[in-house]
A and B are shown apart, each in its own frame.
Chain A
Amino acid sequence: MLVLALDTSTPAITAGVVQLDDTRLEVLAEQVTLNARAHGELLTPHLLEAVNAADITLAQLDAIVVGVGPGPFTGLRAGMATAAALGHALGIPVHPVCGLDAIAIQAEHGAPLLVATDARRREVYWAAYDAEARRVDGPHVDKPAELKPEAKTAAGEGAELYADVLGLEVIGPRFPSPAGLVAAARDSFGKEPEPLTPLYLRRPDAVEPTARKRVTA
């Protein structure tokens, strides 16, 4: 089957076409740009370029996989809104994937692993994985110094940024890749997709007004 993988939960704007069968997962084309401010602008051009480079048409796609975070709010929604509308228009399922899972499944470890991405505000989004890349804790958002990882190894841009604080060996990848996203979604193909619910992990910044403000001094 042909799967389009999209992710905008990190500074990377990621689109790729992946061919998947029972034993093989092959990335036919991918288009990735690092630009935390251009998710809304570049994602659709990227996915069209990937589809062209894979020498297929959108109509040939069988499914879409999209990273649903955790990630900074605005960019995350660019990918999810794109995936949801594409799936709607093409009449194909859209499978959500936790971006941290996509990183974990691609990290070469074979031992417990911590995955962390940059949550800004000096915090990381993180989750803990066992030796088989199964998530055993998370996702959460916390200050790096507050983490008490059991793992000796970490992956993800957040792990890299706070390597000093975490004191773990950092390995790749830094961001979810098309191959990682599709691999992490593998068990969901052929089933009814889970709802596309963003993993925001934080509440919106909003305060309820208290008593009426006096306008006179």
Chain B
Amino acid sequence: MPKIIMGIESSCDETGVGLVRLHDDGAVELLADEVASSVDQHARFGGVVPEIASRAHMEAMVPTADRAFEKAGLKLSDVDAIAVTAGPGLSGALLVGVSAAKAYAAALGVPLYGVNHLAGHIAVDTLQHGPLPTPCLGLLVSGGHTQLLRIDDIASSITELGSTVDDAAGEAYDKVARVLGLPYPGGPPIDKAAKEGDPKAIAFPRGMTGPRDAKFDFSFSGLKTAVARWIEAAERRGDDIPVNDVAASFQEAVADVLTAKAVKAAKELGIDTMVISGGVAANSRLSGLAAERCEAAGITLRVPRPRLCTDNGAMIAALGAHVVAAGRPPSSLDLSANPALPVSVVSF
């Protein structure tokens, strides 16, 4: 019997509720994906303010769930299992989703699965491109995470190969956008400006690429500082800031490091499928360069469509479906969110 899985996401600034159908053959079909974002409320602060995000989750949770059921043409009583982001993320924000998910599970009498947000970013790709070959390599890039993952089983076995030692790639975009006078969040406006600029105009540093650096870790803090210094120096000289060239050169440095390390990891581990997900996956240069380099290396590249890459409930429902299909045990109703949940814990 096919099963309906409801997914609830509230780890950062998007309140997401997704519904999927898990078919008997293990295929997972997307039925609804509703998101309420509080991004506009954070814009003037230049980053996500946890308390504002939590307040917005509280207001949006039930209306977003309502919309999801309406879209899918389902009733709450059709749900067979509930999956919720139990970490990592902002603790006050996670608490709203986890509290609601427990209440839904208790009221509907269905099992609850506390699942890992990072694993959800990879699992979501199965909604668009079908089952994941394993092992596969995951590159997660967003405002909150920058990680290189080895996935041996999406429901139970994920290993972190490397991650950022300081800022997430998306954070660097936000900060560089700010010094360039571009709006928050920084990804889309920098991508747009970069299209008009020369990526080779300025040689910005490639972080963590020295011979003694950890092979699969990333660092974007030095790059961000280099951009700011470059702009300050230009201002001191009284030069106009070539915003498009700075944006293009910055973006090139980010995309270069991310794709070079991901391809290197795939080759070294003998992995021939790569999934790139997270909010920054929608960046045109990142996906373009990844496509080029994967093709040259004989790696199949999978990038979910932008709507699925950003935080949403569908990714949590999709992961929940794989966890259910694998027969993993459900969570207890005294589940508490873990803001620092490691990616190796797919569900708990």
Contact = CB atoms under 8 A, between A and B. Distances in A.
Interface of A: 38-45, 47-48, 58, 73-74, 77-86, 88-90, 198, 200, 204-209, 212, 214-216
Contact of A84 (B44, B61, B229): B61
A135 B66 CA distance: 35
A77 B59 CA distance: 10
A81 to B, nearest CB: 4
B338 to A, nearest CB: 11
Contacts of A207: 45
A197 to B, nearest CB: 9
B289 interface: no
30 contacts: A41-B336, A44-B102, A45-B333, A73-B92, A77-B57, A77-B92, A77-B95, A80-B58, A81-B58, A82-B99, A82-B102, A85-B61, A85-B62, A85-B99, A85-B103, A88-B65, A88-B76, A89-B107, A198-B55, A204-B49, A204-B55, A205-B51, A206-B45, A208-B45, A209-B45, A209-B46, A209-B178, A214-B232, A216-B228, A216-B232
Nearest to B51: A204
B179 A41 contact: no
Contacts of B100: 81-82, 84-85
B2 to A, nearest CB: 21
Contacts of A77: 54-55, 57-58, 92, 95-96, 99
B40 to A, nearest CB: 14
Contacts, number: 118
* Interface of B: prevailing SS: helix
A153 to B, nearest CB: 34
A78 B55 contact: no
B229 A58 contact: no
Interface of B: 44-46, 49, 51-52, 54-55, 57-58, 61-62, 65-66, 76, 91-92, 95-104, 106-108, 178-179, 225, 228-229, 232, 333-337
A89 B229 contact: no
B103 A212 contact: no
Given A81-B99, A88-B66, A89-B103, 18 more contacts: A40-B336, A41-B335, A43-B99, A44-B334, A45-B334, A58-B106, A77-B96, A77-B99, A78-B99, A80-B58, A84-B61, A88-B104, A89-B104, A89-B107, A200-B55, A208-B45, A215-B228, A216-B228
B94 to A, nearest CB: 8
A74 B336 contact: no
A84 B76 CA distance: 14
Given A198-B58, A206-B45, A89 B92 contact: no
Contacts of A198: 55, 58
Contacts of B179: 212
A44 B232 contact: no
Contacts of B336: 38, 40-41
Given A206-B52, A207-B45, A41 B334 contact: yes
Contacts of A200: 55
Contact of A216 (B52, B96, B104, B229): B229
Nearest to A6: B103
Contacts of A83: 103
Contacts of A39: 95
Contacts of B229: 215-216
B71 to A, nearest CB: 16
Contact of B96 (A48, A81, A212, A215): A81
A212 B58 CA distance: 32
Given A81-B61, A85-B107, A48 B44 contact: no
Contacts of B49: 204, 206
A136 to B, nearest CB: 28
B54 A73 contact: yes
Contacts of B44: 208
Contacts of B178: 209, 212
B323 to A, nearest CB: 20
A55 B99 CA distance: 24
A84 to B, nearest CB: 5
